[in-house]
Structure 1
């Protein structure tokens, strides 16, 4: 499958990052099954624990607009660097709840690309099924 479109939009989202402390800009983009795209960029804060990652910003924006996990076709995560930018643990936990297990997650850099999913990124995730 060709993920060029969603990767390009995630790269564009990097331009909207607010990263004055780390200068590490990350972009994420969700391609929805209805053909729309929802992007997010990281937004830092001087109180570093209040920083919000691109992945969570994109997912929260989608859910805020009424979309749910079954509406998401794929997700791309990018940073303008040579190496891949895998999601942090907090993002993986949110992704485990808000994405279907086998939704393609494309990690892309200037030189590399990897298609994975949350089941591979976070095996044995703690999810709502533990409460049901």
Structure 2
């Protein structure tokens, strides 16, 4: 599959995950599609809670699902998000906690973060661009 076709497929999967979001408070749905080094795709959506601190982001949901299934090496993630009822989504960048979780399981230089409004309107960043001066596991060696 061509690189752009692969990116678009991952974005489509993120939109699929976004439909599953549980957002009764913010009404802001986020979907993530995480691709492993072997090409397996793990979906995640944001899951809110009346106790706001117990809410989980889509990106972490995808990573935790993957890790719980034995996968710990990843190539890229596509993220989409926006308010319910809005026709177009916005670029939805991951929060700082999600960026830190990504840094735990990736090579921040090579791991790609795709922020998309649609399969035709998206930007690709390295995690290093989104998390400069990251605190990495190697700091604990």
Q: TM-score, normalised by structure 1?
A: 0.92
Secondary structure of 1:105 counterpart: strand
Q: Hey, what does 1:93 align to over in structure 2?
A: 100
Partners in 1 of 2:79 and 2:95 — Cα distance?
A: 11
User: Which residue of 1 is the match for residue 12 of structure 2?
Assistant: 8
Query: Structure 1 stretches of 5 or more lacking a match?
Result: none
Q: 2:91 aligns with which of 65, 69, 84?
A: 84
Which of 73, 76, 81 aligns to 1:74? It is 76
Question: Which is worse superposed, 20-29 or 87-96?
Answer: 87-96
Alpha-carbon RMSD across the aligned residues, in angstroms, is: 1.4
Contact 1:93/1:125, CA 8 A, preserved across alignment: yes
State yes or no: 1:128 paired with 2:137: yes
- Deviation track 1:51-79 (CA, whole Å, cap 9, x = no partner) reads 0000000011111111112xx22210111
The alpha carbon displacement at 1:100 in A equals 1.8
**Alignment: residue pair count:** 130
Equivalent residue number for residue 119 of structure 1: 128
Match of 1:64 in 2: 68
Residue 36 of structure 1 and its aligned partner are, at CA, apart by 2.2
Contact 1:84 1:112 in 2 (8 A): no
Contact map agreement 2:80 2:89 (CA 8 A) in 1: no
Instruction: Kindly indicate whether the alpha-carbon contact (under 8 Å) linking 1:13 and 1:29 is maintained by their aligned counterparts in 2.
Output: yes
User: How far apart are 1:105 and its partner, in Å?
Assistant: 1.1
Q: Which residue of 1 aligns with 2:85?
A: none
* Rounded Cα–Cα distance in structure 2 between residues aligned with 1:93 and 1:33: 19
